[in-house]
A and B are shown apart, each in its own frame.
Chain A
Amino acid sequence: DTGVSQNPRHKITKRGQNVTFRCDPISEHNRLYWYRQTLGQGPEFLTYFQNEAQLEKSRLLSDRFSAERPKGSFSTLEIQRTEQGDSAMYLCASSFGGASGGTDTQYFGPGTRLTVL
C-alpha cells in the first residue's frame, strides 16, 4: 500500500455543475476524513467516517455537499451546484482510531484542487 490516493488531482468546472471526488485510504485504516483548505489557511474539517458510518459533519457544510463510504473502504465527496466559493483544495486523510484504540494519526492524500469558474 502506497498511502492515501485522491482522484482527480485537479478539477476545473463551471459554476452550477456537480463534481465528485474520490479518496482511497490506507487499507487497514478504519477512519477517513475530508478537509477543505484554502490558500494560507489550515485544513477545515468537513466530515469523517468510521468504517462505513458517517460520524460527524461540520455545521459549515451546506446541503450541497455529500459524502459516502459505502463499504468502509474508498469514499466519495460530491458537491452539487458548485459555486465560486467552493474553489479550494479538498484533502482526504485516513487513520486508525476510536474507543477501541488507535491514536488517530492522520495520513493525508495529495488533495484535489477544485477551481470553479
Chain B
Amino acid sequence: GQQVMQIPQYQHVQEGEDFTTYCNSSTTLSNIQWYKQRPGGHPVFLIQLVKSGEVKKQKRLTFQFGEAKKNSSLHITATQTTDVGTYFCAGLTDSNYQLIWGAGTKLIIKP
C-alpha cells in the first residue's frame, strides 16, 4: 500500500545546532504537509507544499518538496528549546484524497 517513510526516528541536538527530518513516499504526492506535536499536545499544522521543487520558509524552518513530488524535508536552523517536539510529515495522493502520515521525528535538545 501507499506509505510515507520518515527518518530519523529521533534526533538529539545541542541547542543552537541544526535539525533535519526527511520524508519519502512510495508514490507521487499531490501535496505534502508538516505538523508539529509538542510533548503532551496534539499535532498542529505547520505548512503545506504543493509544487514540484517548492521551498518555503517560516523563520528558522525551511521546508522543501522534491522535484518528483515523492520526498520532502524540514530543516531547522539553530534549534531552540521551543522547537522540542515531534515533527510529522503527511502526504496527500490523488488516488484516495486522504493524508498518509509518516511516523514522525522527535527532536530532543540535549541538556
Query: Contact: A42 with B86, CB < 8 Å?
Result: yes
For B44, list chain A residues within 8 Å (CB): 108
Query: Contact: A105 with B97, CB < 8 Å?
Result: no
Stretch at the interface among B12-20, B59-67, B71-79, B98-106: B98-106
Count how many chain A residues have C-beta atoms less than 8 Å from C-beta atoms of the other chain.
22
Query: Contact: A99 with B42, CB < 8 Å?
Result: no
The reply on A65 being an interface residue by CB < 8 A is no
Scan residues 77-111 of chain B and give those whose CB is less than 8 A from a CB of chain A.
Answer: 86, 88, 90, 92, 97-99, 101-104, 106
In the complex, residue of chain B having the shortest beta-carbon distance to the beta carbon of A97:
B97
Count how many chain B residues have C-beta atoms less than 8 Å from C-beta atoms of the other chain.
21
Contact with B along A26-44 (1 / 0, CB 8 A): 0000000000000010110
State A105–B103 Cα separation when bound (angstroms). 17
Query: Contact: A56 with B98, CB < 8 Å?
Result: yes
| Minimum C-beta distance from A7 to chain B (A) | 15
Query: Contact: B92 with A104, CB < 8 Å?
Result: yes
From known contacts A105-B33, A105-B48, infer whether A97 and B101 are also in contact, taking CB-CB under 8 Å.
no
Query: Contact: A108 with B48, CB < 8 Å?
Result: no
State A45–B86 Cα separation when bound (angstroms). 17
State A43–B90 Cα separation when bound (angstroms). 11
The reply on A110 being an interface residue by CB < 8 A is yes
Query: Contact: B98 with A42, CB < 8 Å?
Result: no
State A110–B37 Cα separation when bound (angstroms). 11
For B103, list chain A residues within 8 Å (CB): 42
A interface residue numbers (CB < 8 A to B): 40, 42-43, 45, 48, 56, 91, 93, 95, 97-99, 102-111
Give 15 CB contacts A-B under 8 Å: A42-B103, A43-B88, A91-B42, A91-B43, A97-B92, A97-B98, A98-B97, A102-B97, A104-B92, A105-B48, A106-B43, A106-B99, A108-B42, A108-B44, A111-B42
